[in-house]
A and B are shown apart, each in its own frame.
Chain A
């Protein structure tokens, strides 16, 4: 380890400060979520979650020091081994892990447990960076596209087996990084159109409107394309296929048993089943919505504290914030996330080598996805999936993995002057 490796002045303090701001706000909210006025325990009390979270925060700081002290080349050199170790842990988890609510997410000894699914995120980000840094690697070519997706698909498959669909979905966030690295725009247009189509087919009563929209999109695509006869025919066939698809979605849904139909339709109307499938989202919206502009005041919330919102200190931690600090509190936290992500894009773009930049965008991808989906699900914009709010939610694995993910990039960024430019 060389002296010049740890250059405090080169650390991006803006990012570090936003990180600590989010961690501290998160910690206060965890205390609020578990606070019980009748028992009145201190925020430092390790018999409640806020006390335990403080232990996680302390160890996270230790991890930060280790990362910052490490050789900047370490992560690049260890990228592939770390990825392979994580894959092995993911494979082992279902066999040696502990079952909670039908899911086996964690492994470990005694009370020390980690969730490999959380740590596999930064491992995959590192591996993809390593894999894609080759100068010849070109995401506009099918062969490389398949390779990149291969690296991504392995952890997804193992995580789905646990089964933890929410975490598995996170890996699709690397599409943001792929976008930056040159995956052709048409895939995004097609993919987003497909998602929009499924949602619209379920949300809109009359499919005729949807068919009309598809026709318009197909015409626009033809006009934007090369206008060759082959392409026109191809786009038209795709359009016809999509219209058939929309009608088949409604047909398939209508053939499902009533309770499963409800589960699908609750995405569009949570009031359909407020005591069943819609409970989480209904209660979460009540908690946040009752906060008003300025909130009920710290520790004055009733909905999250009294367990109306399930998972209120982990995945639904945003409810506590929304209830006790209102819209202004939400504004502060969302602004912090947007600022962090914008800063990370800025940092990624100033990297001198491809590995650092790709990893940086990997960090951006994962954080963006968690931030977007977690808050969206608490206010009923997205179906409930069990993923934490980065730096905010209670839990050691979650805090550690996001800390590692972020600070590896901060370390890379602080060492960028030492690196040779080798951009592809």
Chain B
């Protein structure tokens, strides 16, 4: 029997070999999950964050840059203090602070770096830089935060912040990871792809304690980061600064556009906030504080607030009437105050007089003719057809839908259609007498200040506009900007109809906005006063100048400032002067505007 036993032992040894090799084959060849687990173990992906693009104004003045901030880091295991007194003096900390910080770092990890002193100023950095070599285990880590040389245009420029979980979920590009900074509002958000640049990546090896063991495969797979594109905004820094000075202490919007291009020269949302407060480590705290304020400084009024346009809408009504052939410059109506209230002016008036005097009854009667063209003998049906046809023409003026400005969250406003009234009154249960308020820009009509400014640009251009935008060039190249901003939009009203309207707008200043008149620059404008059931009326003014060669179209909307001829027109006039002449010749008017305090 023993003769078989050596054979049994050999078989046993072979079996062991077979079992081991089979199991090894299973984990080494069949199962590739271990390869990934090994990589997760030992290969650390270190992202090289790119330099975010800078933002300049239209004249090349810096609006947004990256400010390096310095954190002093400590690796406790390597740290040696030597002369403690000298150390404390150099870094300007107390002994208790040193011990506390060191122990906190030690508790986190003996070999991984942690922050020792946060955000050292550039001055302190320069001072300690040369001495760092004496202290092993200490090094400087540089980060950069967005900074603003002038605390202006916060809403237009927007801010960046850590990407939210929801955004990460929606991100289909796969570019972002937790902790990445991303443009959250304004241009920062809209031009995120251009500004962010391209992340680089370095693969480095780490041991079980996370200690850096050099680059993986001599950096074969490493890529360098690519800095973001620098952009020129169309904003005029000096104009923006001046506008914000004028709007100090007020609630409202100012939007100035270069009519020939649609470039936004100034975009002010008041009250404003210092864009420097929403950067770096202060972001969370500041955001919460700003968000809690009743004045809603974070609310971007020029594109998010919607108001009834008021009397400025009468220009649109005039142009539609002219184009339709329903109105001619000679069409005359009596100022019949039994139809709708008006102020005292000569009556009857022709179209010119109606614009100049902002005559409400005139438009009540003119609008009835636009709406009720007796297409149907049923007056309800006729109104419905007329309203929808009219609405189509109004929409061409860039109203009722977002213009498509290069900022997120633009509101569309409202130009009601028949379905809107059907919803409230029922089909066939409303007619002209229900909707006549639309004739004078009241009622259900809602527009954003940006849309108002765009109207001014249309009037200046005699019938076309470019979608208003904040971008002027990317890396100095104007053709790199989104194509939609280079596309001309016609409003469907012949240019010659605008001549009389422009004349009337220039005259209108003498009727309703005398404060806006300038001696040497002819301004064409129109006031509006939007009724506010909650308090003082809102003050509205749109204008363009110089009348014969418009360089600037502007809308000013000041909440609770009363009659439009006062606060809004004065502000617009000063802005125009600032932009066209770069100086202010009417200190009294400036004083008057600055003194106005309409914040509620």
Chain A interface residues (CB < 8 Å from chain B) = 36-38, 176, 179-182, 283, 285-293, 302-303, 305-308, 322-323, 326-327, 330-331, 334-335, 337-338, 341-342, 345, 348-349, 361, 364, 368, 371-372, 375-376, 379, 381
A342 CA to B5 CA in the complex, in Å?
13
Counting CB contacts under 8 A, is B99 at the interface? Answer: no
Is the CB–CB distance between B17 and A338 below 8 Å? yes
Question: Are B16 and A38 in contact (CB-based, < 8 A)?
Answer: no
Is B594 an interface position by the 8 A CB rule? no
Cross-chain contact A331 with B38 (CB below 8 angstroms): no
- CB contacts under 8 Å to A, within B1-42, are 2, 5-6, 8-10, 12-14, 16-17, 19-21, 23-25, 27-29, 31-35, 37-39, 41-42
B207 touches A379 (CB 8 A): no
A288 to B23, CA, bound (A): 11
Q: Are A290 and B37 touching (Cβ within 8 A)?
A: yes
Are A342 and B35 CB-contacts (below 8 A) given A289-B27, A302-B43?
no
Contact partners of B14 in chain A: CB under 8 A: 338, 342
Closest residue to B25 on the A side, CB-wise? A327
Q: How far is the CB of A236 from chain B (nearest CB, A)?
A: 27
Beta-carbon contact of B214 and A38 below 8 Å: yes
Determine the chain B residues whose CB is within 8 A of the CB of A330 once the complex forms. Answer: 20-21, 24, 28
Considering only CB atoms, which chain A residue lies closest to B7 in the complex?
A: A345
- Which 3 pairs between the two chains have the least Cβ-Cβ distance? A289-B34, A306-B207, A290-B38
| Cβ-based interface call for B293 (8 A) | no
B209 touches A (CB below 8 Å): yes
Closest B residue to A183 by beta carbon equals B5
Pairwise interchain contact A307-B28, C-beta atoms closer than 8 A: no
Whether, in the assembled complex, B205 has its beta carbon less than 8 Å from a beta carbon of chain A, the answer is yes
Q: Can you list 18 A-B pairs with a CB-CB distance of less than 8 A?
A: A38-B213, A176-B9, A179-B8, A285-B34, A292-B28, A293-B29, A302-B42, A302-B43, A306-B41, A306-B213, A308-B41, A322-B28, A326-B28, A327-B28, A331-B21, A334-B17, A338-B16, A361-B9
A303 touches which of B5, B10, B16, B42 (Cβ 8 Å):
B42
Nearest Cβ in chain A — how far from B466, in angstroms?
A: 58
CA A335 – CA B23 in complex, angstroms? 15
In the bound complex, do residue A290 and residue B19 qualify as a contact, i.e. CB atoms below 8 Å apart? Answer: no
B414 vs chain A, min Cβ distance (A):
60
Q: Answer yes or no: B289 CB below 8 A from chain A CBs.
A: no
B20 contacts which of A287, A303, A305, A379 (Cβ < 8 Å)?
Answer: A379
Q: Which of B173-212 contact A (CB under 8 A)?
A: 205-209
Interface residues on B, range: 35 or more
Contact A341 B28 (CB under 8 A): no
**A338, B23: Cβ atoms closer than 8 Å:** no
User: Chain A's nearest CB lies how many Å from the CB of B568?
Assistant: 67
Docked Cα-Cα span, A283 to B549, in Å, equals 77
Known A-B contacts A38-B213, A372-B16; A289 and B43 likewise in contact (beta carbons under 8 Å): no
- The interface centre, meaning the residue of B12, B41, B43 with most chain A CB atoms within 10 A of its CB, is B41
Instruction: Assess whether A286 is in contact with B37, with CB atoms less than 8 Å apart.
Output: yes
Asked if A335 and B17 sit within 8 Å, CB to CB, the answer is yes
Contact A293 B28 (CB under 8 A): yes
CA distance A336 to B2 in the complex (A): 26
B interface vs A, CB < 8 Å? Answer: 2, 5-6, 8-10, 12-14, 16-17, 19-21, 23-25, 27-29, 31-35, 37-39, 41-43, 205-209, 213-214
How far, in angstroms, from A7 to B38 measured CA to CA in the complex? 51
Q: Are B34 and A334 in contact (CB under 8 A)?
A: no
Cα-based distance from A337 to B21 in the complex (angstroms): 12
Is A291's CB under 8 angstroms from B28's CB?
A: yes
| Alpha-carbon gap, A322 to B24, bound state (A) | 9
Q: How far is the CA of A108 from the CA of B33 in the complex (A)?
A: 46
**B41 surroundings in chain A (CB, below 8 A):** 283, 286, 302-303, 306, 308
Q: How many Å from the CB of B556 to the closest CB on chain A? A: 65
Whose C-beta in chain B lies nearest to the C-beta of A300?
B217
List of B residues within 8 angstroms of A375 by Cβ: 20
Q: Are A289 and B28 in contact (CB under 8 A)?
A: yes
Kindly identify which residue among A286, A306, A364 contacts B9, using a CB–CB cutoff of 8 Å. Answer: A364
Residue of B nearest to A303 (CB): B38
Shortest distance in angstroms between A141's beta carbon and chain B's nearest beta carbon? 15
Which residue of chain B is the closest to A371 with respect to CB atoms?
B16
Smallest Cβ-Cβ distance to A279: which chain B residue: B208
Asked if A306 and B17 make an inter-chain contact with CB atoms under 8 angstroms apart, the answer reads no
Bound Cα distance from A38 to B14, whole angstroms: 42
Q: Looking across the interface, which residue of chain A has its beta carbon closest to that of B35?
A: A290
Q: How many whole Å from A351's CB to the nearest CB in chain B?
A: 12
Q: Are A289 and B31 in contact (CB under 8 A)?
A: yes
Listed residue (A181, A302, A323) with the most chain B CB atoms within 10 angstroms of its CB: A302
**Min distance, Cβ A149 to any Cβ of chain B, angstroms:** 19
Q: Chain B nearest CB: distance from A285 CB in Å?
A: 6
User: How far does the Cβ of A299 sit from chain B's closest Cβ, in whole Å?
Assistant: 12
B374 vs chain A, min Cβ distance (A)? 83
Q: Smallest distance from the beta carbon of B51 to chain A beta carbons, Å?
A: 30
Partner of B29, one of A176, A327, A371: A327
User: Which residues in B have their C-beta under 8 angstroms from that of A337?
Assistant: 17
What is the bound-complex CA distance between A395 and B311, given in angstroms?
96
Q: How far is the CA of A77 from the CA of B19 in the complex (A)?
A: 40
Q: What are the residues of chain B within 8 A of A307 when measuring CB–CB?
A: 207-209
Residue of A nearest to B2 (CB): A182
Closest chain A CB from B34 CB (angstroms)? 3
- CB <8 Å contact, B43 and A327: no
Decide if A292 touches B37 in the complex (CB within 8 Å).
no
| Complex interface: chain B residues within 8 A of A371 (CB) | 16
| Max count, chain B CB within 10 A of own CB: residue among A36, A181, A308 | A308
- Shortest C-beta distance, A173 to chain B (Å), equals 12
Q: A334-B17, A338-B14, A381-B19 are in contact. Are A292 and B2 (CB under 8 A)?
A: no
Residues A342 and B10 in contact, CB atoms below 8 Å apart: yes
Q: Known: A37-B214, A289-B27. Contact between A180 and B6, CB under 8 A?
A: yes
Chain A residues with Cβ below 8 Å from B214 are 37-38
Contact: A287 with B38, CB < 8 Å?
A: yes
| A123 → B minimal CB distance (Å) | 23
Contact A376 B20 (CB under 8 A): yes
Min C-beta distance of B300 to chain A, whole Å = 49
**Bound Cα distance from A376 to B371, whole angstroms:** 91
**A112 CA to B80 CA, complexed, in Å:** 35
Task: Give the residue name and chain of the A residue nearest to B20 (CB).
Answer: A375
Contact A288 B24 (CB under 8 A): yes
> Once the chains are docked, how many angstroms separate the CA of A379 from the CA of B24?
7
Q: Are A379 and B38 in contact (CB under 8 A)?
A: no
In the complex, the answer to whether B5 meets A285 with C-beta atoms within 8 Å is: no
Complex CA–CA separation, A303 to B13 (angstroms): 30
One of A285, A302, A335 near B27 (C-beta < 8 A)? A285
Across the two chains, which residue of chain B brings its CB closest to A334?
A: B17
Q: Which residue of A lies closest to B37 (CB)?
A: A286
Within 8 Å CB of B39, what residues of A?
Answer: 290
Closest to B215 in A: A37
Chain B residues with Cβ under 8 A from A303's Cβ? 38, 41-42
Instruction: Indicate whether A37 sits within 8 Å of B5 (C-beta atoms), given known contacts A286-B41, A330-B28.
Output: no
Residues of A within 8 A of B208 (CB): 306-308
CB nearest to A364 among chain B residues: B9
Chain A residues within 8 Å of B24, by CB: 288, 322, 327, 330, 334, 379
For A361, the chain B residues whose CB sits under 8 A away are: 9
CA distance A331 to B29 in the complex (A): 12
Residues of B within 8 A of A322 (CB): 24, 28
Interfacial chain B residues near A293, Cβ < 8 Å: 28-29
Query: Chain B residues with Cβ under 8 A from A372's Cβ?
Result: 16, 20
A308 CA / B17 CA spacing, docked (Å): 26
Give bound CA distance, A364 to B10, whole Å: 10
Given the contacts A342-B13, A345-B9, A376-B20, A302 and B205 also touching, CB distance less than 8 Å: yes
Question: What's the Cα separation between A87 and B33 when bound, in Å?
Answer: 48
- How many Å from the CB of A327 to the closest CB on chain B? 4
The answer for the CA separation of A327 and B16 in the assembled complex, in Å, is 16
Q: Which of B2, B19, B206 contacts A180 (CB 8 A)?
A: B2
